[in-house]
Amino acid sequence: MPVATPEQYAAMLDTAKTGAFAFPAVNVSSSQTLNAALQGFAEAGSDGIIQVTTGGSDYLAGHTVKNRAGGAIAFAKYAEEVAKAYDVTVALHTDHCPKNALDDFLLPLVAASEARVAEGGLPYFQSHMWDGSAVPLPENLEIARELLPRLSAMNVVLEVEIGVVGGEEDGVSHEINDQLYTTLDDAVATVEALGLGDQGRYLTALTFGNVHGVYKPGGVSLRPELLAEIQQGLQAKYGVGEKPLDLVFHGGSGSSAEEIAEAVRNGVIKMNIDTDTQYAFTRALADYLFKNYDGVLKIDGEVGNKKQYDPRAWGKVTESAMAARVAVAAKQLGSAGKSVSA
């Protein structure tokens, strides 16, 4: 199926919320990892979200140049074409844009989509994340308020981070401390600034102890019950239905199945998957190289085995391993077998 239209993406998010499940949002940085994500979603029969960061877009553009906006557009155009061959629908998203990358990443992409829409086309991306976690909350929300109407005019969804995710991802890093927990006051400030859908749709990454990267179970203290407390507090304050915020789960590697399930019960409809799929991809490559070292290397005067060192040979292995991890995420989050194209 083609990449989701804005209307299809809205239907995906609505279905996840009413059905109490979440879509995996898989970070990619190459055509190989993009293909792996598509394969994984198709194997699970799940719609999904495929996303790129500033660093991923830099790499897509060519690692010797700095052309992240161009890399992101190249990703979107490539995805639009290859996704047609799969029987699931995927949405495209840009992940973690800090303040210092607005001018060379997010804003050029918004402008490019505005020009495309003006010509009768669809936006390149169905949602964009503004990551204001490193600036004071009032500034974070002020920038979000500037972005929301521009995105809403194209039916593009904004994602904001309210709170701090610990660890590091593509140069955005934070300490692991008590700032990892969003408060109800923070959420109220967000609603006062951005509304509850009346000013445009947005996703909210509230933090409840999340940490990017790898940590062993027990290494951080997740409090997914905090999400329920905040949702209930907003419901009571504004007199709206339950779970008024559409939530995103960042930094979930190492989380227990119950922690993930509780977060989904409390309104998470999008969960970012990056570290685990990176490891699945590279672990399969290491396994292949160790098992076929005499074929991929010219050693002891031999010539190796072209069929083994052909990048397509090991690429199929690594892509399938990453795809399997994507399919596991879809099953765990409850999106397996759910597609707007079905």
Asked whether 269 and 23 are in contact (CB, 8 A), the reply is yes
* Residues sharing a CB contact under 8 Å with residue 197, sequence separation 6 or more, in sequence order: none
* Distance in angstroms between the alpha carbons of the first and the last residue of the chain: 10
Asked whether 132 and 161 are in contact (CB, 8 A), the reply is yes
DSSP 166: B
C-alpha of 199 from chain center: 23
Residue at token pair 């590697």: 253
- The active-site residue out of 14, 47, 87, 95 is 95
Asked whether 204 and 190 are in contact (CB, 8 A), the reply is yes
Can you spell out the DSSP letters for 176-187?
SSGGGB--HHHH
Asked whether 327 and 273 are in contact (CB, 8 A), the reply is no
Sign of CA dihedral 21, 39, 95, 209: positive
Helix, strand, or coil here: 167? strand
Could you confirm whether 95 is annotated as catalytic?
yes
Residues β-bridged to residue 249: 271
Residue at token pair 């789960």: 249
Which strand (E) or helix (H) includes residue 94?
Answer: strand 90-97
Asked whether 308 and 292 are in contact (CB, 8 A), the reply is yes
Residue 203, judged by CB atoms within 10 A of its CB (0-12, 13-18, 19+), counts as buried
Residue 78, judged by CB atoms within 10 A of its CB (0-12, 13-18, 19+), counts as middle
User: Distance (Å, rounded) from C-alpha 74 to C-alpha 96?
Assistant: 18
For helices 68-82 and 54-61, angle between their N-to-C axes, nearest 10 degrees: 80
Catalytic sites, residue numbers = 95
